[in-house]
Structures are given as C-alpha cells and as structure tokens.
Copies of this chain bind each other. A is one copy, B any other.
Amino acid sequence: MLPFARVTVIGLGLIGSSILRAVRSHMPTVRLTGHDADPAVRETVRRLDLCDDVTDTPGAAVIDADLVILCVPVGAIAAAAESFAADLPADAIVTDVGGSKASVAEALRAALPDATIVPGHPVAGTEHSGPEAGFATLFHGRWCILTPEDDTPEAATERVRAFWEKLGSNVEIMSPKHHDLVLAVTSHVPHLIAYSIVGTASDLENVTQGEVIKYSAGGFRDFTRIAASDPTMWRDVFLNNREAVLEILQRLTEDVTALQRAIRWGDGDTLFNLFARTRAIRRSIIEQGQDDERPDFGRSHE
C-alpha cells in the first residue's frame, strides 16, 4: 500500500534530491515531479534523471500531486507556497523539511489557508549541498519529526508518517514549539558554535590559517564539517528559531563560563567530573544507531 501515488518535490537540493532518489528506490511506481527555482538545478536533475518530470513553474509541478514536499530554506517557504497556491489540488497534502517548525507552520498556513498541512523535519543531512550531493539512503534509520496542527486530520498525519517510514525513517510527532527547542539543542546551537569556532580560528593574528589547517586533526576539523553546511539554509534557521536558540545559547554560555572558572582556579575535579559523564551519551547514541560505531566516525586511516 503506497501512502501517495503522485509526489511533488519543490526545491531540489541535498534534501529534495535525496527524497526523489529515495522514493525511486523504495516506491518505484510513484509518479515523481520536481521543481526548483534555479534553472541550472532543474537542468541537473533532468540530466541525472531523478524524477519523471521536472517542471519550469511551481504551479505545473503541483497540479496533479497528492503530496507536495517543500524542500527550500525556511526563509523561502512562504514565497514557495504562495507560488503554487492557486494550482494546489484540494485533496493534496502539503509537508516540508524545514529545520524550524513554529514559524514554518505559520507561514504555510498563511500562504495556503485551506490546505491540509503536515509540517515535517527529517533530522538528516550532510555538509554538502545541491542535487548532486543527494543519495537514496540519507533517511535510513534517522528520525523524522512531524508537527501537525491540533485540527489536522489524523489520517493525513498518518499518511505522511507512512511515507517517511517507507523511506527508512522513524517518525515522531510533537508540537512545533517543542521541536524548535529540541532542535536548538541537538542541531542549531551546535551549528552556531561550529561556525563560530571556525570563524574565531581563522581571525587570529598570532596563529596562521595554515597552522589551523595543519593541526586540525587535534579536534578542530570535526567542527569544520558542519561549518561547511549551506549558509542560506542556516541563516534562515537562526532567524526563524530565534527564541529557542538564544535560550539554549544562554545555558551553554553559563556552562562554558563555569568551566573557564574551573580552569582559571585549577579545579581539576570539576573538569574531570564533566569529562567522565559525557562519554555515556556517546555510547547511547551509538547503541541507538544514531552514529557510526567505528572510531573516529569511520574516517579512513591509511
């Protein structure tokens, strides 16, 4: 039983193109349509033959869809939804993959007042961008969070859940506000800190950029991966999840200040106690299949 027969993806970057590939791989009879605002991206997706049809307008992409998935940066979601609003079939379900959910839910509701909307967020990705970076297994074993409105028909939410499960994901349902807080912790603040530390390191006067690169295997290189993620997507996430990001950042700053004080006063016990308990979380992440169990993420050591 396929949850949807005609799926349209709007925005064909890493996530959108991965969805195309994953649907082709897991639900090969689904009719797949794609659209991207950038003609070069459309051309690439046609050349790679990732879907049945790539349309030049968003309206043409949705006209026959029973599921429309918005895969654009969260700051572009309102305009993207408006661009196909007039052509959206009455019985189509609209979802998205945006990294913040409260503001996205509002934007989608305003742009599509009568549509059935089930906002979503697959917690998956890599540091690469664009249609050539996608792959069919990106969502395997990852969690996809759905944030339906209070009056969303349960049948609609369950169809979107079934769709993501077909792509290999686990699905969880929560409120947009709780999503935004959880993701501020597990994704947004880590990205902000990674971007920041890479910026700080490259702005120092007494350590050269060449030195930072040479000795990056001491830990720094781990941060550069997520600091290589798509700038537009991440700018929009921070502007759209301001409250939760600032709250978590404040907590982190307090905790870093306490460690700073421990270092200044030579308080080794405080440092040791923290460093000893953080190992357990890594162990749980690996046990629950959310990271590679091989040392060093499975990096090559030839």
Contacts and interface: CB of A to CB of B under 8 A. Distances in A.
A197 B297 contact: no
A302 B214 CA distance: 32
Number of identical protomers: 2
Interface in A223-238: 223-229, 231-232, 234-236, 238
A181 B271 CA distance: 20
Contacts of A272: 231-232, 235
A198 B235 contact: no
A295 B124 CA distance: 13
A254 to B, nearest CB: 8
Given A126-B295, A207-B181, A292-B300, A274 B215 contact: no
A213 to B, nearest CB: 5
A241 to B, nearest CB: 9
Given A220-B187, A275-B235, A291 B298 contact: no
B219 A186 contact: yes
A185 interface: yes
B299 A292 contact: yes
B278 A145 contact: no
Given A123-B218, A297-B298, A199 B137 contact: no
A280 to B, nearest CB: 9
A189 B199 contact: no
A38 interface: no
Given A187-B215, A219-B194, A292-B300, A282 B127 contact: yes
Nearest to A127: B295
Interface residues of A, number: 112
A231 B201 contact: no
Interface stretch (A58-66, A149-157, A158-166, A244-252): A244-252
Contacts of A301: 135, 137-138, 140
Contacts of A47: none
A101 interface: no
A242 interface: yes
Interface in A154-212: 170, 172, 181-183, 185-204, 206-207, 209, 211-212
B195 A274 contact: yes
Interface stretch (A5-13, A49-57, A83-91, A257-265): A257-265
Contact of A255 (B196, B227, B279, B283): B196
A263 B138 CA distance: 30
15 contacts: A123-B217, A182-B207, A182-B211, A183-B218, A186-B218, A186-B219, A186-B220, A190-B222, A195-B274, A199-B278, A213-B281, A225-B296, A225-B297, A228-B283, A242-B266
